[in-house]
Structure 1
Amino acid sequence: MLKKIFISIMSVGIVLTAAGCTVAKDTKSNNGKINVVASINSVRDFAQKVGGDKVNVTLLVPEGTEPHDFDPKPKDLEKLANADLFVYSGAGMEDWVDSVKSAVGSSEKLTILDASKNVDLIKSDGKTDPHIWLSLKEAKNQSKSILDELIKLDSKDKSYFEQNYNNFAKELDDLYNSNKSRFASLANKDFVTGHEAFGYLCRDFGLTQKSVEDMFAEGEPTPKKQATLVKFCRDNNIKTIFMETLASPKVSETLANEVNAKVEKIYTLESKEDGLDYVQAMKKNLDKIYDSLKK
């Protein structure tokens, strides 16, 4: 992966130099709007919610592409060189980001924001869980970091950005509060997924995920792990196995077939799914998880 990125960086050097010479020095360079490039869909949603009609937000990782597998091309680096703000989710989600940052570091007009800088990270077996945005609390923290950067870039619209952030934060708080009480009332706290992506959501609501694959969806599950999950599902009468769009459906389907359960889609929000924005998708996730836990 890194070798590919370095080759792309070398091939695009001339393009970046040219772009750096032609971009205007003022922050707002696209019809009076701040040009924001977001690494993944969730970050794009946060930037759009906070920035409103004062920003032009574009996505770096194409829809339907697993962010870990993304291989930046010269056109991607050129897009960044012409941006005012590059926001990435952080915590290792975009493992190619250091190489990309070094390629565009000479651009005087580009601000780069690691949106995980104020997040309470989850670490397990020496690895950091990168799926920050699947916590409503941490989504608010990431959005606050974006707010702070937008104000630095455009201080005269400070009150506008703050109002947008406050409105979005209220949406997140309302959704969190309405779900906190109903999850607390359940005796059953365990749900089953194909991919271990929901650690931050679980922390928000006191839940536990049992997953076929680890948080990076690497490799096939061992027979021992598969057998353990089959026993868990049978012992606890699990009737729903959740499947993530960008993960292999096979792992969820195989487990579901063994325990006579249904497979149901759950959103990881790395890409835009079913035309839903962040709050809409998270509401559906929480409703589906709650329904699967009711006995």
Structure 2
Amino acid sequence: MKKFITLLLMTAIVLSTLVGCSTNEKEKSTISSDKGDKIKVVVSFNPLREFAMAVGKDKIQVVTMVPEGVEPHDFEPKVKDLLELTEAKVFVYNGLGMENWVDKSLSSIDNKNLNVVDASKGSNLIKNTSEDVIKEHGQYDPHIWLSLQEAKVEAKNIKDALVKVDEKNKDYYEKNYEEFSKSLDSLYTEYKSKLGSLQNKSFVTGHAAFAYLCRDFGLNQQSVEGVFAEGEPTAAKLKELVEYAKNNNVKTIFVEELASPKVSETLANEVNAKVQKIYTIESKEDSKTYMDAMRENLDNIYNSLK
């Protein structure tokens, strides 16, 4: 009797295990089916997610590695981030020293089918002038996504990668890219005319992230911090900014979410100017899309220079 009961228990366990395995396989199959139709794209940070979604729309599943509110060059990937890369078809990063963790991350994973996209490829780059910045971060200013013209280049690089891994949907990606490109051109044309009509061309920001935007529209930026928003300005630099703001009748000091606002606020108080937010778009701020944030940036800059 004892042997019989033991046999029954073992049989029940085996049956239960088989049913459980069957159920799990069905669940995995369903999950795989839901995501299987979409190309998995991992991007380093927010603007590249925006460009990827503009081109790929419902044909892709996008995972962003750098969390909201974290500077891309301060980010350190965790195991879960590397696992995302092992399952991806496409990985997009900005390059130009913005993500110094990329090479190490790619060398630590095993994904021979991963298409790696340096989104800055083919961009018209602006050289850094500080020897210290060049030594630590490289020769070029990385903030190319803040140019409507260079955003088209980044979006095209993403489009080309999607076509490569999903050629059957080439027309779909091409169409989406053309639509996005036209929307960028439309915003550029609108503000090229508006900003071009102004005599005052200079504005003050928290850190020097807007050189490409300035090149698009013939503007000049003066900044509290450098290209990579590292450290605080010297007393001499702050004095220089105060004199500049007074001499040029600067009434607005722009500040960014991921840069410290304290010095900018001090500067604004010194010259009786207001502090106003400007979007670097490194994170998704105030639930704004790339186009929304860029339009607001340009509108606020325009109004500050009138």
* TM-score (normalised: structure 2): 0.85
1:21-48 deviation digits (Å, cap 9, x = unpaired): xxxxxxx992300000111100000000
User: How far apart, in 2, do the equivalents of 1:169 and 1:181 lie?
Assistant: 19
Please give the alpha-carbon distance, in whole angstroms, between the structure 2 residues aligned to 1:254 and 1:130.
Answer: 27
Alignment of 1:212-223 (within 5 A): 212-223=224-235
Counterpart in 1 of 2:70?
65
User: Which aligned runs of 4 or more in structure 1 are off by greater than 3 angstroms?
Assistant: none
Alpha-carbon separation, structure 1, partners of 2:201 and 2:35: 48
**Stretches of structure 1 lacking an aligned partner (at least 5 in a row):** 1-27
1:119 paired with 2:94, answer no
Unmatched 5+ residue regions in structure 2?
1-32
How many residue pairs match? The answer is: 267
**For the residues of structure 1 that align with 2:92 and 2:86, how far apart are their CA atoms?**
13
Q: % of aligned pairs identical?
A: 59
How many Å apart are 1:190 and its aligned residue? 0.1
Equivalent of 1:55 in 57, 60, 67? 60
Could you tell me which residue of structure 2 aligns to residue 91 of structure 1? 96
CA RMSD of aligned residues (A): 1.3
Alignment of 1:242-261 (within 5 A): 242-261=254-273
TM-score normalised to structure 1 length: 0.88
168, 171, 179: which one pairs with 1:159? Answer: 171
Cα offset, 1:203, TM superposition: 0.5
Q: Post-superposition shift, 1:118?
A: 1.1
Instruction: Indicate the SS of the match to 1:245.
Output: coil
Q: Distance in 2 between matches of 1:95 and 1:119?
A: 19
- The SS at the match of 1:30 is helix
**Structure 2 matches for 1:262-277, cutoff 5 A?**
262-277=274-289
Question: Counterparts of 2:222 and 2:85 in 1: how far apart (Å)?
Answer: 38
Instruction: Using the TM superposition, give the Cα deviation of residue 251 of structure 1 relative to its aligned residue in structure 2, in angstroms.
Output: 1.9
Tell me what 1:229 maps to: 241
SS of 1:263 mapped into structure 2: strand
Find 1:38's aligned residue among 20, 39, 43. 43
The question of whether the paired residues in 2 share the 8 Å contact of 1:40 and 1:60 is answered with: yes
1:63-95: CA deviation from partner (whole Å, max 9, x where unpaired): 111111101111111111111111001111111
Show the 5 A alignment for 1:196-207: 196-207=208-219
Does residue 283 of structure 1 match 2:288? Answer: no
Q: State the secondary structure of the residue aligned to 2:245.
A: helix
Cα deviation, 1:159-194, whole Å, max 9, x if unaligned, reads 000000000000000000001011111100000001
Residue 256 of structure 1, CA deviation: 0.6
Query: In structure 1, how many angstroms separate the alpha carbons of the residues matched to 2:34 and 2:213?
Result: 37
- Deviation track 1:205-262 (CA, whole Å, cap 9, x = no partner) reads 0000000100011111011110000001011111100000011111211111111111
Greater helix share, structure number: 2
Q: Which residue of 1 is the match for residue 147 of structure 2?
A: 135
CA distance in 1, matches of 2:115, 2:186: 32
Distance in structure 2 (CA, Å) of the matches to 1:73 and 1:162: 34
2: CA distance, partners of 1:77 / 1:231: 48
